[in-house]
C-alpha cells in the first residue's frame, strides 16, 4: 500500500483492487455466505468495480469542472435555475444509498457556465460518502467560489435507505435541505422566486 492525500490533505492508505476484493470475501464469510459457491465467485470483483463507480467523486476535482465560463450572454444577469438533477449518493454512517433530486440556482457575475457543469458538480460531490447537509453546502460553496457568483441556492430532496430499509424503517420519509449564499441569502425576493421556480 502507498500513502495518498485526500482533499483535506490527510494521509490515507491507498488500497489495491486485490486488497479490496479480499475484504469483500471476508464480508461474505462474515454474513454467513460461502464465497466459493458458483454464484458468488465473481461477486468480490463485481462489488469492487461497483464501488469504484459509487465513489468516483474522490478522484475528481469539482472546481476544475467549472474552469471554463462564457461571457457572451448579452448582459444576462438574472438567476439560472437547474431543476431535478438526479442524486445518487451513500450516507457516511451506514454506507446506505441516498436517492433524490437536487435543484441548483446561481446569479451570474458577467459570466455563465455550461449547464452540464452544474449537474457534474452535483455528481462529483454525490459520489462520496456524505451527509445530505454537507452535500448541500459543498455544492453551493463550490459554485459560489468558482463562478464568483452573486448568489447561489441549492435544494436537495432525497430518501435515505438507512431510514427506509433499517432502523426506524419509515419508507415514505424524505429529507429536504436548503442552502443560500449571496443575494439568495440577503434578499428574500430572490429566495422566494427560486422556491416558486423549483415548486413548478
pLDDT of res. 1: 41
Question: HSE of 58 in the Cβ direction (CA atoms, 13 Å)?
Answer: 16
* Residues 22 and 41 occupy one common structural domain: yes
* Residues 40 and 16 occupy one common structural domain: yes
* Residues 16 and 74 occupy one common structural domain: no
* Residues 74 and 135 occupy one common structural domain: yes
pLDDT of res. 2: 44
* Residues 88 and 171 occupy one common structural domain: yes
Boundary (domain end) residue, out of 54, 72, 93: 54
pLDDT tens figures, 5-56? 555 556 678 899 999 999 999 999 999 999 999 999 999 999 999 999 999 9
* Residues 69 and 149 occupy one common structural domain: yes
Rounded CA separation 191/141 (Å): 17
pLDDT of res. 8: 52
Boundary (domain end) residue, out of 54, 76, 97: 54
pLDDT of res. 11: 67
**Residue 17 domain-assigned?**
yes
* Residues 102 and 50 occupy one common structural domain: no
Expressed as residue numbers, the domain containing 43 is 2-54
Catalytic residues: 91-94, 132, 160, 162
Q: Extract the residue ranges of the chain whose pLDDT is less than 50.
A: 1-4
pTM > 0.75: yes
* Residues 47 and 78 occupy one common structural domain: no
pLDDT of res. 4: 46
**Residue 59 domain-assigned?**
no
Amino acid at each position: 500500500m502507498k500513502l495518498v492525500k485526500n482533499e483535506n490533505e490527510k494521509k490515507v492508505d491507498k488500497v489495491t483492487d486485490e486488497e479490496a476484493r479480499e475484504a469483500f470475501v471476508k464480508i461474505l464469510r462474515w454474513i454467513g455466505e460461502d464465497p466459493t459457491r458458483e454464484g458468488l465467485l465473481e461477486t468480490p470483483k463485481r462489488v469492487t468495480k461497483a464501488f469504484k463507480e459509487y465513489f468516483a467523486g474522490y478522484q475528481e476535482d469539482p472546481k476544475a469542472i467549472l474552469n471554463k465560463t462564457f461571457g457572451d450572454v448579452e448582459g444576462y444577469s438574472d438567476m439560472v435555475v437547474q431543476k431535478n438533477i438526479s442524486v445518487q449518493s451513500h450516507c457516511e454512517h451506514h454506507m446506505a444509498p441516498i436517492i433524490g433530486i437536487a435543484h441548483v440556482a446561481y446569479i451570474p457575475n458577467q459570466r455563465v457556465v455550461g449547464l452540464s457543469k452544474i449537474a457534474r458538480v452535483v455528481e462529483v460531490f454525490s459520489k462520496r460518502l456524505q451527509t445530505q447537509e454537507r452535500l448541500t453546502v459543498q455544492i453551493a460553496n463550490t459554485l459560489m467560489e468558482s463562478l464568483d457568483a452573486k448568489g447561489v441556492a441549492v435544494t436537495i430532496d432525497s430518501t435515505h435507505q438507512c431510514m427506509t430499509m433499517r432502523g426506524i424503517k419509515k419508507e415514505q420519509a424524505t429529507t429536504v435541505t436548503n442552502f443560500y449564499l449571496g443575494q439568495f441569502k440577503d434578499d428574500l425576493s430572490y429566495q422566494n422566486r427560486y422556491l416558486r421556480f423549483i415548486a413548478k
